[in-house]
Amino acid sequence: MKTLFDYASRECADGLFPECDVPSAAPSSVLGAEFVRSRAPRIPNLSEGDVARHYTALSKLNYGVDDGIYPLGSCTMKYNPKLNEDAARISGFASLHPRVDVSLAQGALGLLYELGKILKSVSGLPSVSLQPVAGAHGELLGMFLFKRYFEARGESGRKRILLPDSAHGTNPASAAIAGFSVTEIRSNERGTVDLDALRKELDSTVAGIMLTVPNTLGIFEENILEVTRLVHEAGGLCYFDGANLNSFIGRARPGDMGADVFHFNLHKTLSTPHGGGGPGAGAVAVSAPLVDFLPVPRVVKAGDEYRLDWDCPRSIGSIHGFYGNFLVAVRAYAYVLQLGEEGLRAVSENAVLNANYLMERLKTTYRLPYDRLCKHEFVLSGEGLPNHVSTLDVAKRLIDYGVHPPTVYFPLIVHEALMIEPTETEGREALDRFAEILETIAREAAEHPELLHDAPRNAPVRRLDQTQAARNPVLTYPFRAEG
């Protein structure tokens, strides 16, 4: 019998792997002469120890939810239980090939099926797709569903999407990419949809409305039933952006409020470490008239077996390879099982309690433009701080105190916005400490404004040119070409 050492040897490996099927022609004929090196690349020559120290030092510059509060409004940067990571690393899930025969993927399909059932019950809607891989991707799917629905009814003239000015920024982008034009609906002085402004826009060119629930001010539309009734009466559909479902999960269901499409951000509401662009899961639940149009394949159960159903003639097709970001679904499922129904209700209770606790404390120090009960987040304004101190200065000064700044300059309807979402997983001490730091910073703005204008002072870098950083990122090891 061969040992591992035998397999590691060249002759043995030659017999083990299939023949190489890449042409062995000279590189220049395959690549083009201009891409072939004439000299060896200049790669830094460092010892393993130096490299280990380099990356360890870099890792210590990072800040994440495991370091402290991360109050990034609208992003729900909450603590993610490590048990979810264990579940996502179970090799039967993590190593499963997406093309494996369904008979060998029954556990994974069962998980998707069961998670779908839970999401249906949470949303109060009859069908769900787990295929989208981000919230914005779910929105795009929702807009495609709107489009196909009206095409099927012979109402292709419905080309307009109504969008409150308090909507999340991805909403108008998704509507536009799907080929709709966007009409903005202004908010009233209470921070909710102005019903008169809505009535004026409703006609036979309207495909529907996209509502962010709660909106980006952290306020729930108190007239949501009236809004959805008016839109339905005018022949339109209602899209709910539910990325911040942590504010009402277990307490109210979008299906009962007139939603036709509702997207979850599994990577926010049901945990999963996120940031930096992924991975995400923007599951979409729909009302009865839209079920037929959902993407394929769909996970179905026949007797005791799970299958993938491709035979859905009215489906819009697939919007992503395979079944979306499967391991995010595993984390979400693990999270829901840990919490149970009571635990999910506690999520929304604590998210709302924490946000209101911080808002009440901070509104005596910073301006609060919409002073009313909030849901999971609230928006302060840096306007009126002394000595020309701006919201950006406050955000940068927070870094000196070792705290991640909140979302700033969004939503656009609040000048100098500071959008704070403490999340449900912060305790009282963390909230108090965050509030104390913001209060200290407000005192500094009056007494030592240079501390804010010059911030951050303790960070590895000072203020960067954000435009240059985004337009001309330097992503490689900085070697200068030798002349």
Ligand X SMILES: *Cc1c(COP(=O)(O)O)cnc(C)c1O
Taking the least distance from each CB to ligand X, the nearer of 377 and 400 is 377
User: Would you count residue 244 as binding ligand X (CB under 6 A)?
Assistant: yes
User: Would you count residue 280 as binding ligand X (CB under 6 A)?
Assistant: yes
User: Would you count residue 212 as binding ligand X (CB under 6 A)?
Assistant: yes
User: Would you count residue 350 as binding ligand X (CB under 6 A)?
Assistant: no
Per CB under 6 A, the segment of 118-126, 177-185, 236-244, 289-297 that binds ligand X is 236-244
Site for ligand X in 107-136 (CB under 6 A): 134-136
Residue 231 carries which side chain, given as an amino acid letter?
V
| Burial (CB count <10 Å: 0-12, 13-18, 19+), residue 216 | buried
CA distance 483 to 467: 30
Smallest gap from Cβ 340 to ligand X, in A, equals 25
Taking the least distance from each CB to ligand X, the nearer of 255 and 280 is 280
**Residue whose token pair is 């009535």:** 199
User: Would you count residue 249 as binding ligand X (CB under 6 A)?
Assistant: no
Count the site residues for ligand X by CB under 6 A: 14
Could you tell me which residues are beta bridge partners of residue 264? 242
Site for ligand X in 46-85 (CB under 6 A): 74-75
User: Would you count residue 243 as binding ligand X (CB under 6 A)?
Assistant: yes
Taking the least distance from each CB to ligand X, the nearer of 173 and 451 is 173
> How is residue 136 written in tokens?
């914005």
CA distance 102 to 115: 18
User: Would you count residue 441 as binding ligand X (CB under 6 A)?
Assistant: no
Smallest gap from Cβ 175 to ligand X, in A, equals 13
Smallest gap from Cβ 375 to ligand X, in A, equals 12
Cβ within 8 Å of residue 287, ≥6 positions away: 125, 126, 255, 259, 260, 261
User: Would you count residue 141 as binding ligand X (CB under 6 A)?
Assistant: no
Could you tell me which residues are beta bridge partners of residue 379? 419
Could you tell me which residues are beta bridge partners of residue 380? 418
How far does CA 294 lie from the centroid of its chain? 21
Smallest gap from Cβ 212 to ligand X, in A, equals 5
User: Would you count residue 191 as binding ligand X (CB under 6 A)?
Assistant: no
Per CB under 6 A, the segment of 18-26, 98-106, 241-249, 323-331 that binds ligand X is 241-249
Select the residue interacting with ligand X from 127, 129, 170, 407 (CB under 6 A). 170
C-beta nearest to ligand X: residue: 135
Cβ within 8 Å of residue 218, ≥6 positions away: 73, 247, 355, 374, 375, 376, 377, 378, 379, 421
Candidates 200, 175, 171; CA nearest to 185 is 200
Taking the least distance from each CB to ligand X, the nearer of 130 and 385 is 130
Taking the least distance from each CB to ligand X, the nearer of 141 and 336 is 141
User: Would you count residue 324 as binding ligand X (CB under 6 A)?
Assistant: no
Taking the least distance from each CB to ligand X, the nearer of 170 and 423 is 170
Smallest gap from Cβ 396 to ligand X, in A, equals 23
Taking the least distance from each CB to ligand X, the nearer of 135 and 405 is 135
Per CB under 6 A, the segment of 186-194, 238-246, 254-262, 370-378 that binds ligand X is 238-246
Residue 394 carries which side chain, given as an amino acid letter?
V
How far does CA 2 lie from the centroid of its chain? 49
Per-residue binding string, ligand X, 259-278, x by CB under 6 A, is ------x-------------
319 half-sphere exposure, CB direction, 13 A CA radius: 26
Per CB under 6 A, the segment of 152-160, 187-195, 240-248, 355-363 that binds ligand X is 240-248
Taking the least distance from each CB to ligand X, the nearer of 133 and 455 is 133
Angle between helices 391-400 and 428-447 (to 10 degrees): 120
Output phi, psi for 347, to 5 deg.
Answer: -55, -55
CA distance 210 to 189: 20
Q: 3-class SS at 32?
A: coil
Select the residue interacting with ligand X from 78, 158, 160, 168 (CB under 6 A). 168
**What is the end-to-end Cα distance of the chain in Å, rounded?**
56
> How is residue 464 written in tokens?
């960067």
Question: What is 25-48 written as a DSSP string?
Answer: S-HHHHH-GGGS-SS--------H
Q: What is the CA radius of gyration of the chain?
A: 26
Residues lying near ligand X in the complex (CB under 6 A) are found at 74-75, 134-136, 168, 170, 212, 241, 243-244, 265, 280, 282
